[in-house]
């Protein structure tokens, strides 16, 4: 059966489980057909200039104990850090100088950093014309409210897997509680991002279909999928990596099924295969996250693995060019002016 019907159903908001399962597994010519439609939808939705954002990984302390992540609290082999607000502000200045419109503060789930974040948000807003994106984990509503009132614009909280039992097994915490955080963030006016991990141990195709359907149902403002990367010093360290092709197919499905969201092109795609992020843009992604964390901290922020691929501005711009796309205008102007990267 041709995949054209499956793509049409998805584009019209009534995909079937079987259709999604088929689209998840396409390769070769059919995959190109899927990606072409994704690019068409991105263009139609005005999503072609690639948005850049500058991430600073401000702390690698974490309360959680997720089996896939080396920052999990029981990992005693990890040297922990929390950056100072002065250092963070210096780096935010670099992000702004490069014409990157979004300052992205990311950390493990580290409530001890909240007071610092609350001081930083108004300071960043006062000194720079930047949007502020946070990825700090689960918090009480009052904390989310405070960050929003201080000027934070958007927040990423990935659901990781749509199965509550699987989520509990690998994180020892509750998926409904996490989804409730996402709901609250949205109510408080944040633009919200979410997404899933592709190829987690014990995940089958039917679960991946559920993951896709959950993301489509949530209608987030941005959404991504990342291939599972086996991370040292975790219970999953010797498990096989997630599939690049399946992850790319999910990005295309999100683009066709949701049309307008920003779709980040995660660095794990490049880690799996050189050129993986060019494929991500070809599959419908339109965001590149440039890493501004100083190298001495970068090596301790083991989000995917110790040897993760760290995206610099030059790599991001070259990847965008190789996909025949352009960066958003402020970054383009700054890079043409030869500003420091």
**Cβ nearer to ligand 5AD, comparing 69 with 252:** 69
Binding to ligand 5AD (CB under 6 A) within 280-309 occurs at: 303-304
Residue of minimal Cβ distance to ligand 5AD: 158
What's the min distance (Å) between Cβ of 51 and ligand 5AD? 18
- Across the strands, what pairs with 198? 227
Cα-based distances in Å from 146 to 26, 118, 135: 45, 8, 15
Binding to ligand 5AD (CB under 6 A) within 35-94 occurs at: 68-69
229 makes contact with ligand 5AD (CB under 6 A): yes
Query: Hey, is 193 helix, strand or coil?
Result: strand
166 makes contact with ligand 5AD (CB under 6 A): no
160 makes contact with ligand 5AD (CB under 6 A): yes
Give the sign of the dihedral formed by CA 241, CA 244, CA 246, CA 248: positive
User: What's the helix, strand, coil split of the chain in %, to 5?
Assistant: 45, 15, 40
Cα-based distances in Å from 31 to 9, 56, 171: 17, 34, 33
**Cβ nearer to ligand 5AD, comparing 151 with 235:** 235
251 makes contact with ligand 5AD (CB under 6 A): no
**Cβ nearer to ligand 5AD, comparing 135 with 188:** 135
- CA 210 distance to own-chain centroid: 19
Query: Hey, is 69 helix, strand or coil?
Result: coil
**Cβ nearer to ligand 5AD, comparing 70 with 209:** 70
- Output the DSSP codes for 85-151: HHHHHHHHHHHHHTT--EEEEEESS-GGGHHHHHHHHHHHHHH---EEEEE-----HHHHHHHHHHT
By CB under 6 A, name the one of 158, 166, 279, 308 that touches ligand 5AD: 158
Query: Hey, is 50 helix, strand or coil?
Result: strand
197 makes contact with ligand 5AD (CB under 6 A): yes
185 makes contact with ligand 5AD (CB under 6 A): no
**Cβ nearer to ligand 5AD, comparing 3 with 136:** 136
Q: Which residues bind ligand 5AD (CB under 6 A)?
A: 68-69, 135, 158, 160, 197, 226, 228-229, 231, 268, 303-304
């Amino acid at each position: 059966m041709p995949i054209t019907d499956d793509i049409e159903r998805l584009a019209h908001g009534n995909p079937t489980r079987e259709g999604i399962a088929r689209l998840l597994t396409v390769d070769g010519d059919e995959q190109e057909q899927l990606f072409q439609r994704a690019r068409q939808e991105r263009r139609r939705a005005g999503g072609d200039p690639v948005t850049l954002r500058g991430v600073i990984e401000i702390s690698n302390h974490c309360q959680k104990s997720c089996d896939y992540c080396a920052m999990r609290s029981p990992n005693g082999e990890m040297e922990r850090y929390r950056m100072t607000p002065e250092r963070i502000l210096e780096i935010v200045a670099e992000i702004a100088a490069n014409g990157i419109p979004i300052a992205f503060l990311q950390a493990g789930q580290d409530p001890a950093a909240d007071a610092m974040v609350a001081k930083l948000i108004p300071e960043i807003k006062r000194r720079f014309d930047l949007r502020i994106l946070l990825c700090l984990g689960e918090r009480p509503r009052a904390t989310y409210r405070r960050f929003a009132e201080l000027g934070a614009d958007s927040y990423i909280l990935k659901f990781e897997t749509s199965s509550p039992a699987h989520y509990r097994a690998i994180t020892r915490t509750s998926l409904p509680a996490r989804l409730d955080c996402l709901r609250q963030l949205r109510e408080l006016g944040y633009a919200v991002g979410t997404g899933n991990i592709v190829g987690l141990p014990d995940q089958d195709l039917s679960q991946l279909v559920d993951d896709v359907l959950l993301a489509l149902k949530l209608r987030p403002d941005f959404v991504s999928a990342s291939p599972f990367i086996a991370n040292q010093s975790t219970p999953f360290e010797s498990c096989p990596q997630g599939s690049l092709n399946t992850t790319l197919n999910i990005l295309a499905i999100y683009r066709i099924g949701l049309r307008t969201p920003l779709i980040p092109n995660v660095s794990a795609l490049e880690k799996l295969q050189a050129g993986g992020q060019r494929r991500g843009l070809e599959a419908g992604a339109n965001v590149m996250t440039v890493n501004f964390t100083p190298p001495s901290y970068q090596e301790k922020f083991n989000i995917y693995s110790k040897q993760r691929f760290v995206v610099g501005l030059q790599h991001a711009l070259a990847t965008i060019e190789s996909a025949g796309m352009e960066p958003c205008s402020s970054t383009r102007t700054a890079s043409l002016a030869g500003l420091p990267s």
